[in-house]
Homo-oligomer: A and B are copies of this chain.
Amino acid sequence: MKKILITGGTGFAASHLVEALIEHGETEIHLTAYKDRGSYVKNLIKSDHIHELNLTDFQATQELLEQIKPDQIYHLASIATVGNSFEKAQFVMEMNLNLQLSLLEAMAQIVPNARLLHVSTALIYQASTDKINESSAFGPDNPYALSKLTQDLLCENYSKNYQLDIVRVRPFNHIGERQTLGFVVADWACGIAKIEKGLEKELSVGNLESIRDFSDVKDIVQGYILLMNQGKSGEVYNLGSGKGIKIKEILDQLIKQANCPIPVVSDQSKIRPVDLPYLVCDNEKIKQLGWQQHHQLAETLGRVLEYWRESL
């Protein structure tokens, strides 16, 4: 029986990944959790398969790999603090560097034949009016994105220098139920649900002009499973719908699905100094492996709205 380990296993995408793996018939699924036992996944996974672990602790990471001996590692763990303060920059960069080195080194020592799917991010790319493919220029615009680029390139180093079996995926924006506040779609859906319940009067929005590539998290995690099983070792794959959507369109669709009129006010303070204007995926490479989008935006937004209605 194949043993699967998911790092960052209690996060948003991981919770959908666990569901999808169970649907695929996987039973030996282990998670690492950091400061959060995962309120959702604990209904899906045996409690002794949820391992509290700070991945920057090299010895503890070695011990866990020794105990589980995974065949496949989905590596989703990262600190996602965004912000340009010195303390935040130092924290996010050090943590993400150290957890990456710790995991790669423990893997090289203990499970050198396992496959690792490294979950990188499209934020490492420079914004461009062309669709972004796997050879497009890097341009990480904040310390978080820079730390993710470092992780990504460390994977390349380790797969070359130690012949580790690593596939990297660079997902574009993804949305769905259980995404935390702080991301635009979650913020808006939550705000609309509050207005529907009379808890708030208006929805405050920032920049509506940026163009992004939004996918349903369920399509994204199917991409992860596909790459884990069929991705070429050492290669990197972009993952996204391939369609550019103006943020305003998302807002319009959410408002259309609301049960009452939604007054919108513009808040200049929500516009970050560096907001990439255009970031859309060239997904030809992963489509050649058979990946395709199954969930349409309207459906996904409906589920997200329903999730927040039930959560309040």
Q: Are A157 and B161 in contact (CB under 8 A)?
A: no
A152 to B201, CA, bound (A): 46
By a CB distance below 8 angstroms, the chain B residues around A266 are: none
The number of times this chain is found in the oligomer is 2
Query: Could you tell me which residues of chain A, from 146 to 165, have a CB within 8 Å of some CB in chain B?
Result: 146, 149-150, 153-154, 157, 160-162
A161 to B105, CA, bound (A): 34
Per-position 1/0 for A98-111, Cβ under 8 A of B: 10010001000000
Q: Are B94 and A90 in contact (CB under 8 A)?
A: no
Please report whether the interface of chain A is mostly helix, strand, loop or mixed according to DSSP: helix
By a CB distance below 8 angstroms, the chain B residues around A146 are: 150, 153-154, 157
Determine the residue in chain B with the shortest Cβ distance to A147: B150
A274 to B161, CA, bound (A): 8
Q: Are A97 and B93 in contact (CB under 8 A)?
A: yes
Q: Are B161 and A84 in contact (CB under 8 A)?
A: yes
Determine the residue in chain B with the shortest Cβ distance to A90: B101
Please report the total number of A residues contacting B with Cβ < 8 Å.
Answer: 28
Q: Are B160 and A274 in contact (CB under 8 A)?
A: yes
Given A141-B157, A143-B157, A150-B150, A90-B98 contact (CB < 8 Å): yes
Determine the residue in chain B with the shortest Cβ distance to A105: B86
A105 to B90, CA, bound (A): 10
Determine the residue in chain B with the shortest Cβ distance to A153: B146
Per-position 1/0 for A62-104, Cβ under 8 A of B: 0000000000000000000000101001100110011001000
A101 to B161, CA, bound (A): 28
A48 to B135, CA, bound (A): 50
Chain A residues at the B interface, C-beta cutoff of 8 Å: 84, 86, 89-90, 93-94, 97-98, 101, 105, 135, 137-138, 140-143, 146, 149-150, 153-154, 157, 160-162, 273-274
The 7 closest A-B CB pairs, nearest first, are: A86-B105, A84-B161, A90-B101, A146-B153, A150-B150, A138-B138, A93-B97
